[in-house]
Amino acid sequence: MAADFNAFQTKLGFQFNDADLLRQAFTHRSYLNEHRGEVKGHNERLEFLGDAVLELIATRFLYEKFPTQPEGDLTAYRAALVNAVTCAEIATEIGMNDHLLLSRGEAKDTGRARGILLANAFEALVGALYLDQGYDAAREFINTHLFPKIDQIIEKKLWLDAKSSLQEKSQEFEGITPNYAVLREWGPDHDKHFVVGVHIKDKLIAEGEGKSKQDAEQAAARAALDVRGW
């Protein structure tokens, strides 16, 4: 295991039993093309697993933290808590960006594109930790780094439906309903990414990126609310 991964583990307070599993969590598919035989595989399967583990643990946390909230609100809280923006933010905070294994081309990505890579790697790390040390270790990790975000999400109302808010404001100030269009999409069926643009009066106001069209539309709506100061 490279020294940087040892330092990463020490910083977070855990030690993987399977060093290759941790390295795989940081490995993007593109890296394999330039480093054949160096790593056993990329992180997409771990991301798939980690996404499910993350959602289960977050669901239980929210169910217990908000015992009187209806299912609809809890679903919205969860969506805001485990979305790509939040996961990328945590990945950055714990230093994952310094250890991503990317192709030379992918390594040049910045902004939203790098954010998606970080979010995917964070989910893969959760999946790897679950496989290596079990549910309780994964829950402790998520409890430490993810759940403190919920207070800010509630305070800033980040859980509210951004598309509904934008529609209300657009109708109030512009007299028209916004419309959305997919600008770009890429990736295999199990790992699609979308960039959606939101238009008001045929003018592109903002763009948003997500793993589904719905997530991308929400991201675009949030960005448009910021652009218009609504």
Q: For the segment 41-75, what is each residue's pLDDT rounded down to a tens digit?
A: 899 999 999 999 999 999 999 999 999 999 988 98
Q: Are 205 and 176 spatial neighbours (Cβ–Cβ below 8 Å)?
A: no
Residue 3's pLDDT band (boundaries 50, 70, 90)? Answer: very low
Residue-wise pLDDT tens digits, 118-149:
999 999 999 999 999 999 999 999 999 999 99
Residue 168's pLDDT band (boundaries 50, 70, 90)? Answer: confident
> What percentage of the chain carries pLDDT values higher than 90?
60
Catalytic-role residue among 64, 93, 98, 123: 123
Catalytic-role residue among 20, 38, 44, 51: 51
Closest among 103, 124, 148, 102 to 48, alpha carbons compared: 124
Q: Which CATH superfamily is domain 3-155 in?
A: Ribonuclease III domain (1.10.1520.10)
Residue 162's pLDDT band (boundaries 50, 70, 90)? Answer: confident
- pTM across the whole model: 0.75
Task: For the chain, give every domain's residue range.
Answer: 3-155, 162-228
CATH class of 162-228: alpha beta
pLDDT of residue 28: 92
Residues contacting 95, CB < 8 A, separation 6+: 8, 11
Q: Is 55 marked active-site?
A: no
Q: Is 51 marked active-site?
A: yes
pLDDT of residue 120: 94
